[in-house]
Amino acid sequence: MRDLRGITALLFDKDGTLFDFHRSWSAWTTEVLDELADGDRDHAAALGEVIGFDRAAVQFRPGAPFIAGTLDEVCALLLPHLQGWSAGRLRDHAVARASAARMVPPVPLAPLLEGLRARGLALGVATNDAEAAARAQLAQAGIAAQFDLILGCDSGPEPKPAPDMLLHFADRLGLMPARVAMVGDSTHDLLAGRAAGMVTVAVLTGIAGRAELAPYADHVLGDVGDLPGLLG
């Protein structure tokens, strides 16, 4: 287990990490599926099954493609089940709806991030969501300016679980990957962190539980609010 001594930067996943996954996305997903199904609940339920969402229970199943997959991957799963939609139109619609989604943080993020920056740490976001949607959500939460770099699945580097986004972050900021901690809520985040040679920190504000994440994490925290204590 690697500790966080000597860490110079924290790179965060977004959904399930900076924002509580269930509280942020479950109701939103219900609304969007109902829209795509033109109010047909059976069709909406079938669309939910495709992306691992239980429409009746209003919750995602563990391992749901929506959780760790990229926006394009989720749209590709839905498209064959939608009439009259092109790939481009569906993607644009998803980005627009996601950009307006109300994200719910597990803890007050502004003072947390300000405190981390006061320690001299660089901060970044690497998400498999679209960059435009991520920036909109972070701006809505009043924290976009706290990050030195915000990367989405369409920012250029290969998305997680590949390490490319993480290594791009370190390279852009002139950091050694071994002195960066990747903070995330899914095995995709942690596998990417390990492949990049970074310290890996799991949080339990996503869908995955401790048993699933612990084998890939140097540390497992309840939420990002526990980071200052881990840093010492």
Q: What is the pLDDT of residue 227?
A: 97
Phi-psi region of 186 (alpha: psi -120 to 50; beta: other; left: phi over 0): beta
Q: What is the pLDDT of residue 124?
A: 98
Burial environment of residue 152 by CB neighbours within 10 A (0 to 12, 13 to 18, 19 or more): buried
Q: What is the pLDDT of residue 206?
A: 94
Residues 65, 77: one domain?
yes
Please count the structural domains in the chain. Answer: 2
In whole angstroms, what is the distance from residue 229 CA to residue 210 CA?
A: 19
Instruction: Supply the pTM of this predicted model.
Output: 0.92
Asked whether the beta carbons of 129 and 15 are under 8 A apart, the reply is yes
Residues 56, 152: one domain?
no
Residues 109, 167: one domain?
yes
Residues 45, 111: one domain?
no
With a cut of 70, list the residues of the chain below it in pLDDT. none
Asked whether the beta carbons of 163 and 196 are under 8 A apart, the reply is yes
In whole angstroms, what is the distance from residue 137 CA to residue 92 CA?
A: 16
**149-151 sheet: strands from edge to edge:** 149-151, 122-126, 9-12, 180-184, 199-203, 219-221
What is the three-class DSSP state of 197?
Answer: coil
Residue range of the domain that includes 149: 9-20+104-231
Residue 2 lies in a domain: no
Q: What is the pLDDT of residue 131?
A: 96
Q: What is the pLDDT of residue 3?
A: 79
Q: pLDDT digits over 22-40, tens only?
A: 999 999 999 999 999 999 9
Q: What is the pLDDT of residue 5?
A: 83
Q: Decide which of 34, 64, 99 is a domain's last residue.
A: 99
Residues 165, 51: one domain?
no
Q: What is the pLDDT of residue 62?
A: 84
Q: Decide which of 83, 99, 115 is a domain's last residue.
A: 99
What is the three-class DSSP state of 203?
Answer: strand
Residues 51, 148: one domain?
no
Residues 109, 214: one domain?
yes
Per this entry, what is the length of the chain?
Answer: 232
Q: pLDDT digits over 42-74, tens only?
A: 999 999 999 999 999 999 988 888 987 888 999
Q: Decide which of 41, 68, 99 is a domain's last residue.
A: 99
In whole angstroms, what is the distance from residue 43 CA to residue 107 CA?
A: 36
Query: Among candidates 227, 30, 182, 18, which has minimal Cα distance to 103?
Result: 18
Residues 109, 223: one domain?
yes
Residues 226, 117: one domain?
yes
Residues 117, 213: one domain?
yes
What are 6's two structure tokens?
A: 């000597």
Asked whether the beta carbons of 192 and 218 are under 8 A apart, the reply is no
Q: What is the pLDDT of residue 147?
A: 98
Q: What is the pLDDT of residue 79?
A: 96
Residues 225, 117: one domain?
yes
